[in-house]
């Protein structure tokens, strides 16, 4: 694995970007260290394309260079298989064939893995291949002092029934007229997902400027995936995919400021600034 400085060089072509992230990660680590007691599970929440994976990778390597045995996993790595989601689609609602929403993860395994880390036990972290849309081989079991979990919906609360009723985009209006998809997702979020959030020692939120910026960033990610792997969603598929995330993403702007320990504001160029800290 690349060292911290080598990762910065690989990720950011311009010197000022590397300087910005070097300082940011150092400040973030110092802030987290004020509260952290190992073993710990730290969460990074943020919408599509906000750089959760980049930050978790940099934090893991920075931690290792401080002598901390650290690892990272994405909530996406706990996605159910196509077959499992197909069962949900057939029994509850066709939209559940798509990955992404609460209810499309093996959240029981995520809880078990976090509990194992907190108990000082080794875990075999899962991996999911998004290009193939299927789980792949898990990593070798390892014991971690620190596990960083990143996911777009970390920390979110369920919505009220009243809030669920009005559709917020064309997909909800045309494909979820009975609200059965929205209700299922909301019920899942209100259940075991809250148990998982409770295991997080600290929660960081990467706050994007707005929904249009999030869509643009996610499109950039998908284009890169297609170039690297030769597979991925086209623009029309991606637009429909993003509409499934819009409701809870906009909900995050309302609820996460009161629920997270750290807010990192991102400008339209992805430059991070630590704005709020419950530690300070």
Average pLDDT over residues 25-49: 92
The angle at the Cα of 133, spanning 132 to 137, to the nearest 5 degrees, equals 75
Average pLDDT over residues 158-187: 96
Q: Is the pLDDT of residue 131 over 60?
A: yes
Handedness of CA 89, 93, 94, 95 (dihedral sign): negative
Lowest mean pLDDT, pick from 107-116, 117-126, 221-230? 221-230
Q: Is the pLDDT of residue 118 over 90?
A: yes
Q: Which CATH number fits domain 37-277: 3.40.50.2300, 3.40.50.970, 3.40.50.300, 3.90.1150.200?
A: 3.40.50.300
Give the per-residue pLDDT at 277: 64
Give the per-residue pLDDT at 49: 87
**pTM for this prediction:** 0.93
The angle at the Cα of 226, spanning 215 to 98, to the nearest 5 degrees, equals 60
Distance CA 131, CA 160 (A): 34
- Pairing type for strands 262-266 and 134-136 reads unpaired
pLDDT, mean over the chain: 92
Average pLDDT over residues 75-101: 96
SS (H, E, C) 61-129: HHHHCCCCCEEEEEHHHHECCHHHHHHHHHHCCHHHHCCCCCCCECHHHHHHHHHHHHCCCCECCCEEE
Per-domain residue ranges for the chain?
37-277
């Amino acid at each position: 694995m690349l060292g911290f400085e080598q990762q910065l060089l690989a990720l950011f072509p311009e010197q000022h970007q590397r300087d910005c992230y070097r300082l940011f990660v150092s400040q973030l680590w110092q802030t987290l260290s004020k509260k952290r007691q190992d073993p710990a599970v730290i969460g990074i929440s943020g919408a599509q394309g906000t750089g959760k994976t980049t930050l978790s990778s940099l934090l893991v390597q920075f931690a290792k260079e401080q002598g901390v045995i650290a690892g990272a996993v994405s909530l996406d790595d706990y996605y159910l298989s196509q077959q499992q989601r197909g069962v949900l689609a057939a029994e509850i609602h066709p939209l559940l064939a798509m990955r992404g929403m609460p209810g499309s993860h093996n959240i029981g395994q995520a809880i078990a893995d976090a509990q194992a880390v907190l108990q000082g036990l080794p875990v075999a972290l899962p991996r999911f291949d998004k290009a193939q849309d299927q789980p792949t081989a898990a990593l070798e079991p390892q014991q971690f002092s620190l596990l960083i979990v990143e996911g777009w919906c970390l920390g979110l609360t369920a919505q009220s029934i009243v809030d669920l009723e009005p559709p917020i985009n064309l997909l909800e209006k045309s494909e979820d007229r009975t609200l059965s998809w929205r209700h299922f997702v909301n019920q899942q979020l209100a259940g075991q997902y809250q148990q998982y959030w409770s295991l997080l020692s600290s929660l960081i939120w990467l706050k994007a400027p707005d929904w249009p910026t999030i869509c643009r960033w996610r499109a950039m990610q998908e284009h890169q995936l297609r170039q690297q792997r030769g597979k991925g969603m086209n623009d029309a598929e991606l637009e429909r995919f993003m509409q499934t995330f819009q409701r809870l993403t906009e909900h995050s702007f309302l609820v996460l400021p009161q629920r997270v320990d750290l807010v990192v504001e991102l400008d339209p160029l992805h430059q991070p600034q630590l704005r709020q800290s419950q530690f300070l």
